[in-house]
Amino acid sequence: MKAADGRELWAWPFTVTDGSAAQDVRATVPSGLAAVEPPAPDADPATPPPRPGGDIPLPAHAPPVPLLAKQFTRGTFTAAFSYYGLGGAPLDRIERDLTRIRAAGFGNVRVWVDWERPSPASRIVDRKGHLIAAQAEKLEHALELGAALGLSFDLTLETAHYDAVKKSAEAYDIAAHKNAVRNVLTRWGQHPALRIVDVDNEAEVRGAGGHGSPDTGHTSPGRFAELMIVARGIARTCLVGASCSASIEGLPKDYQLLFRDTKGEILLPHFPRVRGWGAAEGPNAKTLAAAIPGIPIYHQEPARNGHSTSPSEGWPLDEFEASFRSSKAAGSLGCCFPTPAPPST
Helix (H, G, I), strand (E, B) or coil at 303: coil
CA proximity to 101, closest of 142, 158, 137: 142
> Does position 303 have pLDDT exceeding 70, yes or no?
yes
Residue 320: phi, psi to the nearest 5?
Answer: -65, -40
pTM of the complete model: 0.83
CATH code of 71-337, in short, is: 3.20.20.80
Least confident of 11-20, 167-176, 288-297: 11-20
Strands annotated E in the chain = 78-82, 108-112, 152-156, 165-168, 171-173, 194-198, 239-245, 267-270, 298-299, 334-337
pLDDT tens per residue across span 191-212: 999 999 999 999 988 766 666 6
Q: Residue 342 — very low, low, confident or very high, per pLDDT cuts 50/70/90?
A: low
User: Quick check: 222 and 180 in contact, CB under 8 A?
Assistant: no
- pLDDT value, residue 219: 86
pLDDT tens per residue across span 239-291: 999 999 876 568 899 999 899 999 999 999 999 888 899 999 999 999 999 99
CA proximity to 138, closest of 33, 236, 68, 44: 33
- Residues 234 and 223: their CA atoms lie apart, in Å, by 18
